[in-house]
Structure 1
């Protein structure tokens, strides 16, 4: 999320159903953040920012570069790199289906 001064950030007033404020407060306390940060984190999870093709390519290049630049690769390390790349490819598939 881009950081902006509070005066320039978008504001949105919401009427909450009875009891929801208390649930948000409890979740915020449990996660060690403000209620605003809790609401924003929840919204970010539900409505993630779109990922550009450039972002996808950059992330793939970074993952692949880390693998290639490893001078000494253990079998466990190779499996970890494979797992990271597979997770990345799965995310691309998920994003493409949205």
Structure 2
């Protein structure tokens, strides 16, 4: 499975399961954007990572433990959906993240 198609499949699965994607909107301050809480993908080198972000709006004071808990819930949900061979839990910037492993 290609990395982008795996990313799309994971995103569709999570949104159907009731998880929200982090969304960006313009801020009143030029050059800044507002991020909502939800799951987010980040590409480092050739790998995609999935993690829960608190955004920079209402939940910006969310502790790392709470974000880790929500990331683990996403991980368990994806395993229940049969994606265990395509994902692995790891750490990214002192926070738990899910590594997408395309074949």
Greater Cα radius of gyration, structure 1 or 2: 1
Q: Which has the higher helix share?
A: 1
Identify which of structures 1 and 2 has the higher relative contact order when contacts are C-alpha pairs closer than 8 Å and 6+ apart.
2
